[in-house]
Structure 1
Amino acid sequence: MKVINISKEDSDFIIIGVDILPQSIPSTSTHYSVCVYDGNKGEIIKKYAKANLSKIIGLAQSSQASYVATDNIYELVRNPSQIPKLCVQLLPKTKIVQVTGSPVHGFTSLLKLMKQNGIPIPNKLTPMAAAEACSVLSSKKLGYIIEPFEDETKIIVSRSRAKGPGGWSQKRYSRLMDTSVDQEAKNIESQLIELRLDYDKKVARSKFGAKKVVFSVYALISEVTKAFRKRRGELCQVQIHPVNKERVEFIPLSQQVQIKSSLRRLIVGLDPGLTIGLSIMDLNGKILKVASFREASRGQIIRAITQYGKPTLICVDVYPYPAYVEKVAAALNARTYTPRSVMTVSEKNEISRKLAMQHGVLVKNAHQRDSLASAYKGYTKFKGEFEKIDRKYYSQYDRSIRDEIKDLIVKGKTPIDAEDIISKSLRKNMIELPKEVIEKTLAQEISKEDLDSKIKMLQEHLDWERRKNSELYIEYQTLEEKVEYLETRLQEGKSEYMESMQREKTFLVKENEISFLRDKVSNLEQELDRYGKRVEELKKVSLLRGNEGWVPLKVIRKFSYEEIEKTARNYGLGPGDIVLILDSSGGGGKTADQLLSYRIKGIIGNVNHLSYNAKLRFFEEEILMADPAEVEIIRIDEIAVIKEEDLLKVLERAKKELDVKIVEKKKGILDNLLDEYRDERKKEIEEYDERLQNKRTRSSAPYEKEDTEDEFN
């Protein structure tokens, strides 16, 4: 594409007029006639009989055009949602102008505009002639700038790429990215402070810094891009986006045509925080809006307020005022207010219930409740003075003028001073024209200055009517919302009891679940601590087992057949093993035989708890038995170690005790043999003595003397 060379002196007011060619629709294949016009010199620089939209955008960028003028914006785009996309592709200083009017102000045909402004009209209006006419008309400040953006710009600092699926370096890479995002955000914030740009900041924190930082800068993107640029680095990226309006706005090029916002004065209740509660009332106490916004920017809240009018009072339920509220009040030129005493939750609930019954509003959460209570408190503070103004000036002024007097009183003016200020303002801006003046202007030639003055006054009158229409439309919308709410409440009332019971049931279930989960979390934390300690002990035991001077033990939890088999299966039992029995009770001789079948060397356990038969079997097999209280044993579950020197000492002591027991046993056997021998000899002697005594007894009898002698012979 050919670049147009324009001197710096002339580059301030370049206009590109465009008109769609016949049989074209706004799409990728659309073509236009293009006229590049120098507004300072009043001459055409270049014409293009056929150019697509990309070429027009390139021309606007290379020439640094002030306007891209057309007679119908929908020749460039297919629907309103594409207007912001088109504006983003242009330079911030380049505006799109529709010369034929706007939906708000009405439309005038291009031919009529050409005739009114002395532009030659050809026999047939070709696309090129239309493009030239658009550029000339916009150079004369006729037309409307199409503005799709708010006076707010988002600067987003974030990671330039994802962390990836994982790996050894993922944490290190995340730390580098988050640190880079945090540092870049600090640099941008310092620049914003240095440039004195108003902004809000939201940070998504991470372990190492910040994953994402969003700055809401309350300035046009053209101002922001003078100091900041989009960029993408290896670790972080900076993106700059304008904030779209809810509806595209048409701003008159001519200073004589201005649209005044509605003069309806408002009382606004705010509950700042992560979720912002917003309530709007008029100065008569009528509730216009109750809503809540999650993570809304200050600009979004201000736009939501100004849709209904101009705030007189910004009310909150805390003191001192949060910085967020002070900034909103300063931007809207409103006074802040907070109740003298802190409102309790029960008081807020009572106010919200009362207003819900009176006005039919639906309060959905605590944020809406707090904001509504704050707004109501602010209204009751000045309610008496507002009613006096209405009674005094009801027949003299309409509602909007009375609201202005109330606004001045809220801001500290006395009623007399407020009335004087309003009276002077009305006299200065009086828009009625006498009948004589109208007849005179019709009878004589009207100069351009008189015509401009008349247009200005009529425009003000039209603005006045539009303002009233806007108020009525807002009131109509409010009534519609109220009707819809009442219909909804009527339907909800039929099943309100069941819903409340269901809520209570759900609440109890959730409460039980929470209690159960809390107990579970507590148990898991305790178990985690226990396992942590066990891990540390296992590390210590593992380290000790690997060192010289420590001997492993095979642990049997209970002296039973099953536990012996479990230890043998899991850890192995074999000749020469030393076994640690934690619970020595229960088993008998057969259990001892089961353990002896593995040909173990010794047992460490509470010998006193062993059964008689078990001790007898171990003694018969000369198994060494020692008490664990005599040595230091380090044990984790089925893993235990003992110092080698301690083991040798306890085994030596056990062997000595066993030897002593064996000697005692042998001595006992010998003593038993001697006792048996003595008993047998004693018995033999006693039997002999008894026989001898019997013989003596018989020999003492006379008639048995001979027999006795014969017996001895």
Structure 2
Amino acid sequence: MRVYGIDIVKGSVRSRSKRPLFALCRIIDDEIVSETEVSLFRLIRILEAEEPDILAVDSLQEVAADTKELYIFLQSLPPKTDLVCVTGGGDHRESLAQVAGRYNITFNRFDPYAEARTSAKVAALGAGCRVEAFADTCLITVSRGRSPGKGGWSQNRYTRKIHGAVRTKAREIEMTLLDAGLKYEMKEFRAFGGYSRVIFVVSAPRAHVPVRNLRGSDVQVNVSQPRLERIRFVPQSGKPRYLIVGIDPGTTMAVALLNLDGELVHLSSSRVTSIADAISLIREHGRPLIIASDKKEMPGTVEKIRRSFNAVPFLPRSDILVPEKFELASPVQYENDHERDAYAAAMVAYRHYKNKFASLSKRIPSGVALDEIRARVIRGRSLEQALADLAPAGGDEEPKAREPEEPETETRRGRQREYEAMVSRLRSLVSELYAEGQKKDDEIRRLRRTLQNERSKVKSRVRRDSEVARLEGIIKNQKRHLRREEKRNRTLRKQLERMRTYADLLDGEDLVPLKVLESLSRDAIRRLDAEMGRNPGDWIYLGRTDGWGKSAIRELAEVQIAGVVVPDLSVLPPDLVSLFRELRIPLIGEQGLGLRLQGSIGICLRSALDDRYAVWQEEQERYEREKKVDSIETLFKEYRSEREREVRKGG
């Protein structure tokens, strides 16, 4: 069998400037014949000339940029050549490494020649899907090779010659189809002197039709196939893949399907799933090798499904705990707890057989279906028996007849001595290699200890640096708090000193202390509260009265202060004086008080302040009497006007 594998080296089918170059590997009867680099035009020429059975690619994007170009590329292939995408098609795509891993084949994925070689090998072993884009019918069109044109004196003879050639070629093709025993339908288009066109619809694939494209001087033949609505991917191997199935039965049944590499294939749950539905769902995705449950005793529903497939049961030693289920199902997206439990059961089964699968991968030769070996070993066969089962039933070579034993001659004894000397040399070589291996093992252990010590030192240094950084951050915060508290302490000390000075002045008999207010504003009142505080009976000295506000005066009146001293009463606005009168806050000028100021504290003579306060009280009493008289007069006027309105209404 001829299998050709390709992989792109450089360029792209989408690029107009850098056309693609492919690595082409030819494998004939399981032997690599050649590996060359070809262009796309040269590749098509080689395929037409050599007609291999399979052209293997790992991605259709390497040979066609879109569906239209893929149809054109498939049309250009020889009829007997199948295009095989080894990584699968449709929604079930895999990487080339995954496909090769199932046959225990390794390769350098950065080498295009290695990828082309691997694609050809796995395609020869039955991996991948055939790409089908045409129906199983063939369309043969026989038509004129050139137009008759307007012509001249010999136009009729020229037209008869062309149409006659079309009729003759059509008869030849009809005889060929009859000899091949193919069913066909023929449609003729008559013209002057013969046929202008003949169409054959053959009920057979193109590979079975013994007619090829032809372009001559008078006639041309075009062999084509009708396109399918969608490109189909048909697996080369009809065997379904092996699965590890986890089932969580109950009112809501969940099914989790893994391949033998532990990759999730399907995960679903439903409240209306019966045993028959579950069996059908599993059969759609493959053949179950292991069926697992999350309970240490298999439920009856799971056992019925297992028996229907004759699968290997797997039960954990104890019921899987919920925290372990969360850990096992964390890499996947599940809809409910039932799907989580089913996936956890399947994953526990996979982990149980994981080491055995890895051991088998190392022991079996390349080019053998790894999943088939795994399945047979899990079912109880030994590795040798599994390999023997997969070996071909018969070989091309007949078993050699048993040769008679060679007589005991000098030649045989000499050969025996050579073998003994060779064995002796190999034994000495083995001992030397063993000693060298022991030295290397000792060196590796020493380096590992050194590496561990260095890692311990680095970890200690990192822990120490992190601890130092943490402590430095704490110290920095504490220093910031300390500075803030020291500042607050200084402020409180100053305030305490002012309060002591104020208290000492209060104890004096001839002097009255005053608390200085910078201006009649709320901000100034807040600063006064912060520095000295406001208490009932305090005298306030107001430095500036410009920009005053009623709200600030009312805020002063909230605390029953003794009064306010201002620099000059004559310049105060009448509204300000009236507001102080209404709020009964004494307002006194500083003239004659002997006022002295020092910072936020001032002092004045008590006797002078008392005299001024007595004067203010007299004025305040007069103001209140006048206010009462005005209010009575207002009430009288209102009463009189009301009576006049009533009299006028009565008259």
TM range (shorter): 0.3 to 0.5
TM-score calculated relative to the size of structure 2: 0.37
TM-score by length of 1: 0.34
